[in-house]
Amino acid sequence: MLKRMKKTTRNPWLWLPTLYFAEGLPYVVAMTVAVIMFKRLGISNTDIALYTSWLYLPWVIKPLWSPMVDLLKTKRWWIIFMQLLIGAGLGGIALAIPLPLFFKVTLIFMWLLAFSSATHDIAADGFYMLGLNEHQQTYFVGIRSTFYRIAMITGQGLLIILAGFFETSTGLPPIEINAVTNTSYSNNILLPEISQNNESKSKNTFFAAFPQQVVLSTQNIPQGKLDSIRAIVVQHNQINGFVQLGKEMHPSSSRKEQLSWWTENISNPLKKFLTDKVNAKVKPVSINSLTGNIAVVAIKLTTKPEVDKEMVLNMKFQRGDNSIKLVEGDRLAFNRSNWDKPAYILLQADSKLNHSTEAIFKGISGNIHLAWSITFLILAGLFVLFSFYHRLLLPYPTSDQLVRREGQNLINEFFKTFASFFKRKNIGVIISFLLLYRVGEAQLIKMAYPFMLDPRQLGGLGLTTGDVGLIYGTFGILALTTGGILGGIAASQKGFKYWLWWMVLAINLPHMAYVYLAYVQPENYLTISLCVVVEQFSYGFGFTAYMLYMIYISEGKHKTAHFAIATGFMALGMMIPGMFSGWLQDVIGYRNFFVWVMLCMIPAIIPVFFINVKPEFGLKKQEYLPSE
């Protein structure tokens, strides 16, 4: 019987979207979904921040073991096997969630997931360059980014909705609190009165809220008033056992603060120099600062729980205007000792709200462990399906072979592969481009949200949280995605070299929109949205050049490892400028900061003068041998 011939090429639409969806999903699970899950399961913010932040490490250091993907097995094998391993990690998390020591055990499986996913990224990016010709690589560069972003949206949206559905269907009926703002409402703040309508004698167990519809005034209150009411709410909930007592740090007042060498000798002198020379014109904030108004809601359980049974109510924003937020009481635990007492939650309106609006907050009291366990089991099954699907649909490129010959020393080849990247011609230009191409964007992206939210007297635009969420989460993401797709299509039509300078200018010149916003501080919502859309679209279009250049410099024997090393420099190019951007803005103000961002296009452009790209790179060839 003849053996079935393996296809060296397939239609990219059959495998590329699912491959990059599978690449993005584990990342968002480790970075975002894990945070929400641990919060729902009652882990402290301190532990969540500490341990989930470390999960980012495998993606940072993945270039260090990228040569192994080239030296051991094919990229196709790594993709299929890593997807099975990711599924195993997700399944382990699902089985560990119901355990008493679930936090430690799930973290172990999270690490397995993170390392497997980072390795999968290396193999998938390498396979992209092997399974497609130059023209296809250029055409699909924006499309692959789109499906990666779809995975991010799925993780942050659909997965959370799915877990929420299971939470709702496995416990007591959910409770909803309707919060509205009123411009003419009094700003008096009182603790709610508990209605004496015999809820405690009800045979049915459910949570009751007092009041169920709460009105917040748009008149701002002094910060001190918020602090005193918040202290009352926190103390009441802690004393009655509705929340766990947190560990408070009380720094000794007698101990003199020790300044680090960097702060004393570099940071503070530079800050003084910039303050004296630049003289940022920022209006001082009033000592008696005002903040958004607040309201307190009481929640009670109607019947006594069973012995040793704890009923946990998780409150969260459900829908409406997220300019109204939950300040205290996101997780309340009821038991036999406190069920007949009210627990308090605290709501606050955005200080910039000046119109009537509303928001719905939902309390869920289902079996949280079971809900998240089911969610991760579904994810595990999905990755098993991905593995089998890609085993059938991924092509077998003839170039997807081991680069290490039989008998060669693995350790020596590992270091040779890693070193070969740094022996490339014009390596200084390459590294300079990778580090400097987004030096302006790396700083702007960190300060864009604070700039939109900060009050006008501090140089910001004074938008509400809801406004910023709509501008960036809807208009911005659509513009970014569209720019990326059009960038890939454009480069595939006339070649990467033709569009290089256009894309360099596209990623830098639109920063002028933020200079305009900082100096004019327009109040028109449409004007602000248009500036953001222009900048985001241009960034998506201009970033195409960065991706294509990484593909271009990775061509050769060790393209998978070299592309992974390039992504390491890409991350470094975003991390370093972003680290000092907040400090710099604080010193020189928003206006001068965005002017500085514009000036950063100079070092970003300089390496481009020395880049030499083949004119035909990215163009469709007349005769193409698919096996090459």
Strand-pair partners of 175:
363
Q: What is the CATH number of domain 9-171+367-418?
A: 1.20.1250.20
The residues of the chain that CATH labels 1.20.1250.20 are 9-171+367-418, 424-628
In one-letter notation, the amino acid at residue 386 is F
Selection from 26, 20, 17, 11 nearest residue 84 by Cα: 26
Instruction: Note the pLDDT of residue 193.
Output: 67
Q: Is 589 exposed, middle or buried (0-12, 13-18, 19+ CB in 10 A)?
A: buried
* CATH T-level fold of 424-628: Growth Hormone; Chain: A; (1.20.1250)
Q: Determine the pLDDT at residue 410.
A: 65
Residue 624 pLDDT: 39
Which of 578, 590, 595, 613 has its CA nearest to residue 503? 613
For the whole prediction, is pTM greater than 0.75? Answer: no
Structure tokens at 9: 């090429």
Q: Give me the residues of the chain with pLDDT under 50, please.
A: 1-3, 198-200, 246-257, 282, 285, 287, 407, 622-628
User: Residues in the chain, how many?
Assistant: 628
Using alpha carbons only, how large is the chain's radius of gyration in Å? 28
Question: Using CA atoms, how far apart are residues 609 and 612, in angstroms rounded to an integer?
Answer: 8
Q: How many CB atoms lie within 10 A of CB 213?
A: 12
* Rounded-to-integer distance, Cα 599 and Cα 440, Å: 8
Q: How high is the pLDDT of residue 115?
A: 93
524 and 583 in contact (C-beta within 8 Å)? Answer: no
- Classify each residue of 110-139 as buried b or exposed e, where b means 16 or more C-beta atoms within 10 Å of its C-beta: bbbbbbbbbbbbbbbbbbbbbbbbbbbbbb
pLDDT the model gives residue 609: 92
CA 405 to chain centroid: 41
